């Protein structure tokens, strides 16, 4: 039986953000129903960064993503985040595909943020604030444009050239550079940085704002002033991961916030077990750590598309 090798160019040609949003939302519902399996993410720290092993299964698919985070990589001409994914037949364990998962990671992360915004942001949200203008910013804009009628997208990054590159890459979108404080004055804010200290202050945020806190994905990272958490509805992708390595990990360690104060998981909102936004004036936060069911759901979609289109290279790996 052949194994399909899917390169980054093949993956990019098959990825569509609307499709990814659909399969990721379905995966969260399956996980909440107990029909998907996902052990905790395993971390391996090295001097210049870290690696994460992320296995999961959903009906009809299983696999594992091996992904790194090396913040100094751009100075070496490499992406900060790179990943590969082994996609298996759950009935036999046979490796059906080995694929580049760098763009899968970006797309499924942005899709999850957009799904969270769908349930937690005000329906009339028109202004998107993006803090951190890297590749995740580009996909987050595409994802939110699928769900909301965006009239203005404000972007802040410490690197002026990174901001300008993002704006030039989206000529058909209303994107403009802004200060950090002005970017925080938005209906939906996405924080997409590797910060290890709070960069978003409570006094900048207007009532009714929704925040997707995405950058904190390892112990010690945080992007939000902890006081924002105390006065907000907090939703997580996975409580175990969030408390250990998400936006809430530092406040929990410092006893400024407790896991009991988490309102719900995203799966509970999608499954209808808990309501999303019910008050237009409350601040809501989605703590996105990135979970493996998102990757496997997207990999299943890509594998099916590749098979249908005859893309990729087949080899007798085993």
- Active centre residues (catalytic): 65
Q: How many residues would you count in the chain?
A: 318
Task: Tell me the three-class secondary structure of the chain, residue by residue.
Answer: CCEEEECHHHHHHHCCHHHHHHHHHHHHHHHHCCCCECCCCEEEEECCEEEEEEEEEECCEEEEEEEEECCCHHHHCCCCCCEEEEEECCCCCCEEEEEECHHHHHHHHHHHHHHHHHHHCCCCCCEEEEECCCHHHHHHHHHHHHHCCCCEEEEECCCHHHHHHHHHHCCCCCEEECCHHHHCCCCEEEECCCCCCCCECHHHCCCCCEEEECCCCCCCCCCECHHHHHCEEEEECCHHHHHHHCCCHHHHHCCCCCHHHCCEEHHHHHCCCCCCCCCCCCEEEEECCCCHHHHHHHHHHHHHHHHHHCCCEEECCC
DSSP 41: P
What six digits make up the tokens of 259?
Answer: 């896991």
CB-CB contact of 142 with 134 (8 Å)? no
Q: What pairing do the DSSP bridges indicate for beta strands 42-46 and 49-58?
A: antiparallel
| CA 64 to chain CA mean position, Å | 17
CA 68 to chain centre: 15
Which residues are CB-neighbours of 253 under 8 A, at least 6 positions away?
Answer: none
């Amino acid at each position: 039986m052949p194994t399909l090798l899917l390169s980054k160019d093949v993956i990019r040609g098959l990825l569509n953000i609307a499709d990814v949003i659909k399969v990721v939302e379905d995966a969260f519902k399956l996980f909440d129903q107990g029909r998907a399996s996902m052990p905790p993410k395993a971390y391996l720290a090295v001097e210049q960064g870290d690696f994460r092993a992320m296995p999961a299964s959903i009906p009809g698919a299983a696999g594992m993503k091996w992904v790194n985070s090396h913040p100094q990589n751009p100075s070496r001409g490499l992406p900060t985040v790179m990943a590969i994914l082994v996609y298996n037949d759950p009935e036999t364990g046979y490796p059906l595909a080995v694929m580049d998962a760098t763009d899968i990671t970006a797309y499924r992360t942005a899709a999850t943020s957009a799904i969270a915004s769908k349930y937690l942001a005000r329906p009339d949200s028109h202004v998107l604030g993006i803090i951190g203008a890297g590749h995740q910013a580009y996909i987050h804009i595409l994802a939110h444009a699928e769900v909301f009628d965006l009239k203005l997208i404000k972007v802040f990054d410490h690197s002026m050239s990174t901001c300008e590159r993002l704006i030039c890459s989206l000529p058909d979108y209303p994107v403009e550079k802004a200060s950090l404080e002005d970017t925080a004055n938005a209906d939906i804010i996405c924080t997409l940085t590797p910060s290890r200290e709070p960069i978003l202050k409570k006094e900048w945020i207007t009532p009714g704002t929704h925040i997707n806190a995405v950058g904190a994905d390892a112990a010690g990272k945080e992007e939000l002033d902890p006081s924002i958490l105390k006065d907000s509805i907090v939703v997580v992708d996975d409580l175990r991961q969030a408390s250990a390595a998400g936006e809430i990990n530092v406040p929990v360690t410092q006893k400024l916030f407790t896991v009991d104060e988490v309102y719900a998981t995203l799966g509970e909102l999608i499954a209808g077990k808990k309501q999303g936004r019910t008050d237009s004036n409350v601040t809501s936060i989605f703590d996105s750590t990135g979970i493996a069911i998102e990757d496997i759901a997207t990999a299943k979609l890509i594998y099916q598309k590749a098979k249908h289109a005859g893309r990729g290279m087949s080899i007798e790996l085993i």
